[in-house]
Amino acid sequence: MTICYIGIGSNLGDPAKKAQLAIKALQQLPQSQWVAVSALYCSKPMGPSDQPDYINAVAAIETTLTPLALLDQLQRIEQEKGRVRKAERWGPRTLDLDLILFGDQTIVNERLTVPHYGMKQREFVLYPLFEIAPQLTLPDGQSLANLVNNCPLNDLQVYCDN
């Protein structure tokens, strides 16, 4: 079994509910065991600022799926939850599931880059990941704790449904 970390993001169509539905779907992945999920966080959007704030979380699973088979499963879940892939990067979306880390592997191909290419600069990935894996070291040897210590919060906050 390989431990994997999956970023969860949504800012359309009741984002907190979409994130919770994604978590339930991740718990049912084939050839996989559920490990943990962070709290939900509220973050400002990357890219165009004329879109709603995001709800983000990071989940951990252990799996015997290959990286591309896991990616296929994540994209299936996105599609089932209403995701329509568009050419626009960083635009609004009903659900975004990103494979952040796949064990200690480094993967670069036409469909998948792991570790996720932007994870080291994204507070909405680093802080939730740190919540569930504070001792984590990335494949390049960098400690997650050091990355978090050098990453501004940028108004990231734990989501409270009040």
CA distance 137 to 131: 14
Q: Which candidate in 83, 85, 104, 140 is catalytic?
A: 83
Q: Which candidate in 50, 53, 98, 155 is catalytic?
A: 98
From the centroid of its chain, how far is CA 68? 16
Active site residue 140: no
Reduced to 3 states (helix: H, G, I; strand: E, B; else coil), residue 70 is: helix
First to last CA, the chain: 39
Q: Which candidate in 89, 96, 104, 122 is catalytic?
A: 96
Active site residue 161: no
Q: Which candidate in 50, 93, 104, 155 is catalytic?
A: 93
CA distance 61 to 37: 9
Active site residue 76: no
Active site residue 96: yes
From the centroid of its chain, how far is CA 14? 18
Which sequence positions are flagged as catalytic?
A: 83, 93, 96, 98
